[in-house]
Amino acid sequence: MSRYVCTPLAGHHDRTRFRCGVPELDDYLRRRAGQDIRRRAAAVFVLSPADEPSRVAGYYTLSAASIVLGDLPKKVAKKLPRYPHVPAVLIGRLARDTEFPGTGKLLLIDALSRSLRHSRDIAAAVILVDAKNDQARTFYSHFGFTSLAGHPRRMFLPMKTVEALLDDRP
């Protein structure tokens, strides 16, 4: 990721130039991301080219979440404590500017890595995403995310899988 730097969204980031092709994701970055940060509803992270730090090549959001233990497949649930709700991290939004193809993977890897690091301080057993469409579902599936039964757009990845995935990286 040496060509890019991922940092929390700040005032110097130019949100007006960002275009991912999904109006609601463009609008979120421009109009609501700052409010979510101030209200502590979501943390927003921005990927910028190292030589153009104000440019937004992509962004993602993270927030605390939980999932009902019974919503997870039995194979996964049996490895977790028998609490009614399992702590999770939600990747609420993830989008890349159309001028920066291939950066979606960088964004996701950064989100997974950041989530794993923080799960050691604030427990989280899984990472959740809500895939906006079939293309997004295919993207997340490529990294091992699995749809929840009865909720095909809600996907999860156990934190243990994240740890293994990141350990295998070159």
pTM above 0.95, yes or no: no
Q: In Å, what is the CA distance from 169 to each residue of 29, 78, 94, 164? A: 30, 28, 21, 9
Instruction: Give the phi and the psi of residue 80 in degrees, each rounded to 5.
Output: -115, 160
Each domain of the chain, given as residue ranges in start order, spans: 4-167
The pLDDT assigned to 169 comes to 60
CATH of domain 4-167: 3.40.630.30
Dihedral angle of Cα 83, 86, 87, 91, to the nearest 10 degrees:
-170
| Average pLDDT for runs of 10 along the chain of length 170 | 89 97 96 97 97 97 94 87 91 97 96 95 94 93 91 92 80
Q: Assess contact for 73 and 48: CB atoms under 8 A.
A: no
